[in-house]
Amino acid sequence: MTAMVKAEHKKHMADIAQNATLIIMSKATVLDWVKRRKGRNLNAATTRLLLRFNLCWMHDFFVQNMTFNYGVSLLSPHEAFTTNTCMVCHEYIKANIPPHRFRKCPDDRCHAYHFGIHRELIGGLNQIVAAECQVRRKLAEADQ
């Protein structure tokens, strides 16, 4: 990593640390991005480039430095099922990916039944809920 990149990282870390005490983010893994599967939109050249530069290593370096040097807490909730779970009633929504980016709750008694909500919004909000559950579980373990 060059000195210029390190200086930019330190600048951004200081900015974030002044305004945040807790960061909620999922762990980025390049291997999940590049593995061959149906619907993968990456060509071979992009895959080689991602693996060569290993952008996840740079991301992890940034996050670890921020947590160690500035005392910002980090929660990494598991991403599984977050984009396919209704954020109101927590009913699982079978995804019809790739063409459908909006999800509707399958339960007609749910308040979100009539609304199509973008999967990224659903995933982000459900990750916040998962992080809150993680905090509550850790606090309960500490009280015992």
Non-local (6+) Cβ contacts of 3 within 8 A are none
pTM for this predicted structure: 0.61
The model's pLDDT over 19-56, given as tens digits with 9 standing for 90+, comes to 888 777 776 666 666 666 666 667 778 777 777 766 66
Ramachandran area for residue 39 (φ above 0: left; ψ -120 to 50: alpha; else beta): left
Q: Calculate the alpha carbon distances from 124 to 18, 20, 68, 94, 96 in Å.
A: 23, 18, 25, 18, 19
Calculate ∠ Cα 78-118-113, nearest 5°: 100
In total, the chain counts a number of residues equal to 144
- State the average pLDDT over residues 72-92: 79
